[in-house]
Amino acid sequence: MHRSKERSQNDLPNSRIEERFWAGLTIAVSALVVIDRLSVIYRSTLDYVLDDSFMSFVYARNFAEGHGLVFNLGEHIYGFTSPLYVLLLSFLPALGLEQTYFAPVINLCLPIVYGVIWFYIGTSFFNLPCRFLLGVIAAIMPFEIGMESSLLLLLQSLFIWCVIEKKAVPAAIVASLSCLARPDSILLVIPILFMTRIAFNRKAFLFFSVPGIVWVLFTLFYYGDVLPNSFYGKEGQTPFLPGLSQIVGTMVDWSTFVPSINDFSFFRKLNLMVGLFPLAFLFFPKNGERPRWLFYALVAYPWVLVFSYAYIGPPLAHNWEQISAFFFFRVGCAFGAFTLWKLISEHLPLQSKKMRYAVGAFSFFIFFWVGPRHVYRIEQSVFLDRKISYYVGHRQQTYFKISQWLNENVNPNWRIAMGEPGTIAYFTRMPVLDLGWLVSRKKDLPTSRAMLPELALLVGNPEVQQLFGLNADYKRLRHFEKNHGIEFTVMKRVD
């Protein structure tokens, strides 16, 4: 059905000028959020970029310089989860652009695009003001800077739009790219491709499957494995139930619109109630049929992804891995709220202006006061409080100081063992042994003194330490004092 006819059948505005106005307003509000985020990080992006991001930066730089998709030169280890993101990042050093500055800026600007995409996704379901709110709610979703999250959300949003527009081949292409952005996107796109029968379109099937098959064959021959090494490094670190509880709590807090104070507060309970909003989507008909595939995307998929990660058992603090679940849960809450509003407006007598103004004022309060206030609280923790947190901020600053000292005082060919190798490997180009087993294999653990790395970076201030169970002593070479509770010591092997 033609879009204009579909709008008229759903009593939606048919004016292109009015639609462009609301689309422009969506872009403007989303851009204000981006400007606010950029104003927070403009002094030093190093304060906000996770060490995992630097791992991708190292892979991208080595690929751009002709060394292949490797972390340590000559070692073929599949230590990243987003091949598409790494390949795109490689264009930055190839063009002489610094990844630590340009990658975060690009990440922060992409939400404007998928905010507009969700504005147009709402065309078949809601009126223009609700579509505007839907786009803004999608665009102001918090995420980790420097990671592939914004690229993944952009591709997944574009995939949903292509399916709604019944563009089979573009949907298949974007679905394939989203799986290359993060492999867990398979849990979103494959069920939808089958539910909409796009998978049975021979041409679409080829466009979806061929890139994935090519990448799997490449990883099998180049790395000797089809699973990212991080899967083996993170598997089983958190029991199922504690992991599930933490992920669900984070999803509810990040994805709904009511500020929570603590785990047992009234607001946390209210958050859980708001989290039931997507179920209202069950009552939303489209041309006499319920769009079951969209219900899967907005209601079922977030829980499928959450349960999958809880089963794998990654560390509790790795919330960015489930960002897609948080995003679709958030958009599902918005869809459910707007669906309830649509049902109320169709079945209750809202002919009086006072009633319409009252409902409008309440909607404005919920989505423009509570929503942005909640997002601002989250962004305070993500962009400001984390400057003194364990994962970014002062620890990243300490890593940078350690990198400068290593560049000035040690042999650049020495190997260094440490738990988080991304930042230091990026700024020193030294080979590393990753004790977190993301870019090193557990089978690479030294089994003889000849295999021991020359240096080790340890948390704390030990004077002498035996490592790797080989009666090998490492002595303190340089101590870096506490920076908001974080201190590290560079240890040198005693030959």
Most confident of 40-54, 103-117, 285-299: 103-117
- Rounded CA separation 311/438 (Å): 19
Instruction: Confirm if 144 and 320 have CB atoms less than 8 A apart.
Output: yes
Q: Measure the CA dihedral 104/405/480/39, to 10°.
A: -20
Q: For residue 473, which of 491, 460, 451, 461 has the smallest C-alpha distance?
A: 491
User: pLDDT confidence of 10, banded at 50, 70, 90?
Assistant: very low
Q: What percent of the chain has pLDDT over 90?
A: 39
Question: Pick the residue with more confidence: 392 or 276?
Answer: 276
Q: For residue 160, which of 148, 178, 142, 140 has the smallest C-alpha distance?
A: 178
Cα 378 to Cα 8, 110, 326, 371, distances in angstroms: 39, 19, 13, 11
Q: What's the pTM?
A: 0.87
User: pLDDT confidence of 490, banded at 50, 70, 90?
Assistant: very high
- Rounded CA separation 390/373 (Å): 25
Q: For residue 422, which of 406, 409, 438, 407 has the smallest C-alpha distance?
A: 438
Q: Write down the pLDDT at residue 388.
A: 40
Task: Indicate whether 259 pLDDT > 50.
Answer: no
Q: Write down the pLDDT at residue 129.
A: 82
Task: Indicate whether 88 pLDDT > 70.
Answer: yes
Q: What's the start-to-end Cα distance of the chain, in Å?
A: 76
Q: What percent of the chain has pLDDT over 70?
A: 75
Q: Measure the CA dihedral 474/477/482/485, to 10°.
A: -20
Per-residue pLDDT tens digits for 118-160? 999 988 888 888 888 889 888 887 666 678 889 999 999 999 9
Look over the chain and give the mean of its residue pLDDT values, rounded to a whole number: 81
Task: Indicate whether 383 pLDDT > 80.
Answer: no
| Range from 53-57, 241-245, 308-312, 476-480 carrying the lowest mean pLDDT | 241-245
| Range from 99-108, 280-289, 445-454 carrying the lowest mean pLDDT | 280-289
User: pLDDT confidence of 261, banded at 50, 70, 90?
Assistant: very low
Question: Pick the residue with more confidence: 292 or 421?
Answer: 421
Q: Write down the pLDDT at residue 254.
A: 66
Q: Write down the pLDDT at residue 371.
A: 52
Question: Pick the residue with more confidence: 469 or 418?
Answer: 418
Backbone angles phi, psi at 191, to 5 degrees: -60, -40
